[in-house]
Amino acid sequence: MCNAYSLTHPREALVDLGEALARQGGWRLHADLLPDPLAPRYRVSPRQQAPILRLDRSGRLVWSLGLWGFLVAGGKPGFAPTNARDDRLTSGWPWRQSAETQRCLIPADGFFEPEKPAGAKGTVPWSYYTLGNRQLFLMAGLWNPAEHPSTGAKVASYTVVTTDASEAIRLHDRMPAILDGDAAALDWLRPGEVPIDRLGPWPAARMRGWRVADAARNSRLPDTPTMIQPVEDAAATSSDQLPHD
C-alpha cells in the first residue's frame, strides 16, 4: 500500500497541467483554492492535506487541497482508508458510488513503498520511486465530501487507488495506479463506468527507485529533501537492484 508520496513541483506546474486537461475536456479550470505559493512536499502522509484535481457539480475542473484518508458517513471513528484496491472499486464498500461519480487526480513526483509484501509484519527499509527525472505524474484517486475530524471544516477527503506492482518495485506487491497520459487522466475524471483498463502496473523501464533513510518512515519528522535522498544500498551488487543516481 502507498502511505507516503512527494509533490515538489511548483504551483505553476499544477495550474498548467489543469489548464491543459480543462481545454481537452471542455471544462473551466478553478485554481483559486490552491495555495500560492505551494510549498514543496517531500513526504505527504495520511491525515495531511495535499492538492487534488476533481470535477465539481457545476462542471468546473477544480484544484483544491484534499485530506488524505477517505471519510464516509457512518464509518467507525478513525476509519479513513488511504488506499483503494483497483480490483475492489466496483464491488467493495465504501468505493462503489465514489468510483463512478467522485474520481479525482492526485499529483505527485514520487512515492514510497516498504520493501516487503503487503500485510507482512515487521519493520523494513523503504524505497522511493519516481518516473524519469522526477517528473510530475497523476495518480488515480477517489474523493468524498466530509468534515475534517479535528476542525469540523468541510473538506474533500481522498484515497489513492492502488494496482499490481511494477516489476521495478522492490518486494512490495502493490503500487499507486499512475495514469498514462492526458487521455487516461480525462477518462478517469469523467463520471461513469470505471475505466479499469486505464489502471495497471507501470512499465518498469519507465521507473527509477532507490532506498531511503529510515527517517522517511517517521511522519513526525520535518518534511525536508533528506526524505527522498538515496542511502547506501546493501544489495547494490544484486542482480535485481534498482537504478540509482
Q: What is the pLDDT of residues 54-81, one digit of tens each?
A: 999 999 999 999 999 999 987 787 899 9
- Do the beta carbons of residue 158 and residue 106 sit within 8 Å? yes
Q: In one letter, which amino acid is 131?
A: L
Listed by start position, the domains of the chain span 5-228
By DSSP bridging, strand 60-68 and strand 154-164 are parallel
Higher pLDDT, 241 or 200: 200
Is the pLDDT reported for residue 83 higher than 50?
Answer: yes
Residue with grid cell 477517505, as numbered in its chain: 70
Residue 245 is predicted with a pLDDT of 34
Is the pLDDT reported for residue 236 higher than 50?
Answer: no
Residue 1 is predicted with a pLDDT of 62
- Which of the residue ranges 41-45, 48-52, 130-134 would you say has the lowest mean pLDDT? 130-134
Q: Mapping DSSP to helix (H, G, I), strand (E, B) and coil, where does residue 26 land?
A: coil
Q: Residue 231 burial (CB < 10 Å; 0-12/13-18/19+)? A: middle
Q: In angstroms, rounded to a whole number, what is the distance separating the alpha carbons of residues 221 and 19?
A: 34
Higher pLDDT, 140 or 152: 140
Is the pLDDT reported for residue 241 higher than 80?
Answer: no
Residue 242 is predicted with a pLDDT of 41
Q: What are phi and psi of 82, to 5 degrees?
A: -90, -15
Residue 238 is predicted with a pLDDT of 33
Residue 207 Cα to chain centre, angstroms:
16
Residue 117 is predicted with a pLDDT of 79
Considering Cα of 225, then 229, then 119, then 1, what sign does the dihedral take? Answer: positive
pTM for this entry:
0.92
Task: Give the cell for residue 195.
Answer: 475505466
Is the pLDDT reported for residue 122 higher than 90?
Answer: no
User: Strands of 208-212's sheet, edge to edge?
Assistant: 41-44, 5-7, 110-114, 126-130, 208-212
- The mean per-residue pLDDT over the stretch 3-19 comes to 98
Residue 172 is predicted with a pLDDT of 82
Is residue 182 within a helix (H) or strand (E), and if so which, with residue range?
helix 182-189
- The mean per-residue pLDDT over the stretch 95-106 comes to 94
Is the pLDDT reported for residue 4 higher than 70?
Answer: yes
CATH number of 5-228: 3.90.1680.10
